[in-house]
Structures are given as structure tokens and as C-alpha cells.
Amino acid sequence: MSHRALMLTFIVGIAFLIFFCLKAGMSLWAILVFFGLYFAFSTAVSRMRAELGSPMHDLHYTGPERVMVAAVGTRSLGPNNLSMFSFFWFFTRTFDSHPMPHQLEGFKLASTSGIRSRFMLFAILIALVVGILSQFWALISIPYRLGAVHEMSRVPIIYGSEPWRNLQNWLTHPLSPDYWALGFTGIGLLFSLFLMLMRMKFFWFPFHPAAYAAVCGSWAVNYIWFTLLVAWVLKLVLLKYGGRNAHRKAMPFFLGLILGQFTVGSLWTILGMLFNIPTYGIWP
């Protein structure tokens, strides 16, 4: 696909988003600010994944609707905009499953392994369609067969009601602009810029601004912080005492550990599905 076709597709997609939101009752300024912030967050998450290689970038409850509510309050936004914020909650609640970092990694793997980018694009599009249709089926079929309330985890029920509870609170208890939240957001931005400048100026500076953002806004880091600490210490020791060659020689071993975890976890999941028995859960 040519760059002209990609740009045309992008423009058509943006135009459809604006048209859809306008028909749903959103204000034009709210649409532009909402999706402007969302695409900025998406780019930041992708950059975080590319530079840091972070296994988690969930950034729970940091979507554009939070920033807008804190900036102008719920009264200025109105019920139509707030209702659409709740409608879009399925992709703004968290950024851990954001497609952009995974798709860019796929294109990077394609470029390094000699696969044509066009084939990778078609593969991603096919996976997108199959994944969406499969999820529609799973969300209806499995709760119907097992019982959504009694036999399944309560997590889907909680997630399903969460955006509408937020909307109810916004409408029944209107919020004024939260200047404290905006102030602390500004402090976080300035500190991130400080870390970025230090990292650009001093090669030895060990702290990464992307890591600061990933850790501060992450739920998943509560589960893997020790693993990340051990990996960081081992990498530091290898580079300090063995140099780059030792680091490169050790990489296949640690990549094998990661591949082994996912392979074993996938096998347990397949066995559980085939024999309809509970098996070990491998996180993530």
C-alpha cells in the first residue's frame, strides 16, 4: 500500500470518527480534544514500548476523558460528551492492549526478517477481523453456556458496569475543574522532561523517563516489579563486568526463559480447553 493510500485511509478514518461523534451528540471541540489527547497517549505508549521494551504499559485511568474532566469539569462538558466518554471507555480505560505498539513490533520483525511489509499489513488486517468477530462470539456464547453471574469471574461484570457508574456519578454529582490534579500532572510532565534531558546529556544517567511513566501509572507493575529489578541488576552486572559481547551472548538464554514461559502457559491453556478442566494460570 502506497503512502498516498495510507494517508487517504487515515483521513477517511478521522472524518468518519468526527461524523460518528457529531451524530452521537458530541461537541466538535470535545471531539478534537478527546482524540487529539488519545492519539498523543497512543504515540507515547508506542514510544515507551519501543525505547524501554516494557512488558506493561497499562496506564490505568489516564485516558483523555480524565484530563478533560479535570481541566474543565463535568458541567462544561455536558451530558452528551460525558455519555460518549463512557461509550469510548472500552479503549481508554487502559492502554495495555493497545494495538499500535504490537503492530509496530510486527512491522519491525518483518523488516529484520525479510518479510514484505504488505504481507504483514494483510496479516494484521486479517487478525483484526478474526479477533473482533471471535470476541463478539465469545462474549455472548461463553457467559450464556456457563452462566455469567454464578460460574464465571465477576471481572467482566465489573468492567461492563464501570463506565456507566462513572457516568452516573458525573451526572448526579457534577465536578468542578480539579486544579490540584492539573498541577500534579504538570509536575509529572516537568520531571519527565528533566529525566529526558539528563539522559540525552549524560550517557551514564540510569533513569529513563518512559520507565517513570510506566511505573507510576501501572497496575501490572505491582506483580512484576521484582522481576524487572532482577533483570535490571543482571543486565547491569553483565554490561559492567562482561561488556557488550557478554550481554549479546547471554541474550538467547533470557529470551529462552521468556519463550519457555509462554510456551508452557499456552500448553496448559490448550489442555484445559480440550479436557474442560481447570489448569495453571500463567501471568500475564
Residue 120 has pLDDT above 80, yes or no: yes
The reply to whether 64 and 101 lie within a common domain is: yes
User: For residues 160, 262, 279 and 273, what is the CA-based torsion angle, rounded to 10 degrees?
Assistant: 70
pTM: 0.84
Q: Could you tell me if 57 and 94 are in contact, meaning their C-beta atoms sit under 8 angstroms apart?
A: no
The reply to whether 181 and 259 lie within a common domain is: no
The reply to whether 153 and 249 lie within a common domain is: no
The reply to whether 183 and 164 lie within a common domain is: yes
- The mean predicted confidence, pLDDT, of the chain is 87
Quote the domain boundaries for residue 231: 224-284
The reply to whether 33 and 110 lie within a common domain is: yes
Torsion-angle region of 243 (φ positive above 0: left; ψ -120 to 50: alpha; else: beta):
left
* Per-residue confidence (pLDDT) for residue 116, from 0 to 100: 85
Q: How many CB atoms sit inside 10 A of residue 91's CB?
A: 13
The reply to whether 180 and 251 lie within a common domain is: no
Q: Which of 219, 248, 270 marks a domain boundary?
A: 219
Q: Which of 169, 195, 219 marks a domain boundary?
A: 219
Instruction: Please report the sign of the dihedral spanned by the C-alpha atoms of residue 50, residue 53, residue 55, residue 56.
Output: negative
In sequence order, which residues have a C-beta less than 8 Å from that of residue 16 and are 6 or more positions away?
A: none
Residue 85 has pLDDT above 70, yes or no: yes
Angle of the 243-275 helix axis to the 221-241 helix axis, nearest 10 = 150
Q: Which of 168, 185, 219 marks a domain boundary?
A: 219
pLDDT tens digits for 221-242? Answer: 778 888 888 988 998 899 889 8
Task: Give the confidence band of 68 by pLDDT, cuts at 50, 70, 90.
Answer: very high
* Per-residue confidence (pLDDT) for residue 1, from 0 to 100: 64
Task: Fill in the amino acid letter for 114.
Answer: G
Q: What CA–CA distance (Å, rounded) separates 63 from 46?
A: 15
The reply to whether 152 and 97 lie within a common domain is: yes
Residue 164 has pLDDT above 90, yes or no: yes
The reply to whether 53 and 92 lie within a common domain is: yes
Q: State the number of CA atoms in the 13 A half-sphere of 172 facing the CB.
A: 6
The reply to whether 205 and 244 lie within a common domain is: no
The reply to whether 199 and 244 lie within a common domain is: no
The reply to whether 13 and 107 lie within a common domain is: yes
The reply to whether 202 and 235 lie within a common domain is: no
User: For residues 59, 61, 62 and 68, what is the CA-based torsion angle, rounded to 10 degrees?
Assistant: 170
- Count structural domains, the chain: 2
